Amino acid sequence: MEFDKELTKKLDEASSIVFFTGAGISAESGIPTFRGDEGLWKKVKPQELANFDAFLRNQDMVWEWYQYRRNIMNNTKPNAGHKTIVEFEKYFDVTVITQNVDNLHRRAKSKTIFELHGNIERNFCIECKTFYNHNEFGSAKRTPKCKKCGGMVRPDVVWFGENLPQDIFNKAEQKAKECDICFVVGTSAVIFPAANIPITAKQYGAYLVEINVEQTDITSSVDYSIKGKSGEVLPKILDIIKDK
Ligand code: BJW
Ligand code: ZN
């Protein structure tokens, strides 16, 4: 795989790198993406499931959908893409800013991770906000009730129309402003405000590199677009550094 010389130069000069990741980085672990031909939302409409009103109307159906996805995620492992990002820590100050809720960056043991859209392994009570680990409800088929107040328990993910965790978003945005290179990996970059992260990075001077199997909404704005699977491209980029 041949890369642009500019990338080598930027890697030479860089000290801080942000990886902004989406569902595509986990595709090679066997987790379906949202959009695209094989995407989750070809089968289920997001407006029916990924918003709070849908949950109130159809609690058990929404709960069951998340249990189904947890089951897939629990039976997968971090792939070469997640693992290579951890290896970058030997050479750079690395921050992972992810839209994914699948926990795979944590399981790969990345040090600094900002989860913009929550984490599917956590739940919380919509009344008293008590948090529960997924294991507390095991294979519950119906929406569980809070053990403290009897309120409905929901997954700790960010649905459409909901605010992102402000503190996490602010810290992620700060890292985006400070980084030298921002890799945009496996995301269609259409969901806001998350998709502002790479745009901010570029506005503040970062070299913006996209790694994706397809063109996306952000392709025309990046400095360098690499077409390919993240689990194959990222190890090759790491080789540039190792060969130095
Ligand atoms: C590979 C690969 C391989 C495959 N290698 N690549 C303008 C400004 C601000 C907000 C808005 C706005 N316009 C509209 C909004 C509202 C809305 C929004 O953005 N809507 C869009 C449709 C435009 N945003 C919100 O509602 C957000 N909140 C908000 O704005 O709060 C303020 C507010 C409050 C009150 C009222 C109104 C506003 C919240 C958004 C939350 C998104 N949540 C989800 C679901 C999480 C829970 C769950 O998992 O069920 O997050 S949606 C879904 O999309 C999920 C993802 O994190 C997110 C992004 O998807 P991602 O990761 O990009 O996946 P895909 O499938 O789209 O792409 C995969 C890519 O991988 C593809 O490009 C493939 O080619 C590639 N690929 N294999 C490399 N091997
Ligand atoms: Zn409660």
The alpha carbon of 204 and the centre of ligand 1 are apart by a number of angstroms equal to 23
pLDDT at 148: 97
Please write the tens of the pLDDT for every residue from 84-116.
999 999 999 999 999 999 999 999 999 999 999
pLDDT at 43: 74
Measured between alpha carbons, how far is 88 from 104 in angstroms, rounded to an integer? Answer: 16
Taking 70 as the pLDDT cut, the residues of the chain under it are: 47
Distant-in-sequence, close-in-space partners of 79: CB < 8 Å, separation ≥ 6: 25, 26, 28, 29, 104, 231
The alpha carbon of 189 and the centre of ligand 1 are apart by a number of angstroms equal to 7
pTM over cut 0.85: yes
CB 236 within 8 A of CB 2: no
Per-residue b/e over 140-151, b at no fewer than 16 CB within 10 Å? beebbebeeeeb
pLDDT at 49: 81
Q: How would you class 167 by CB atoms within 10 Å of its CB: exposed for 0-12, middle for 13-18, buried for 19 or more?
A: exposed
> Ligand nearest 148 Cα, by number?
2
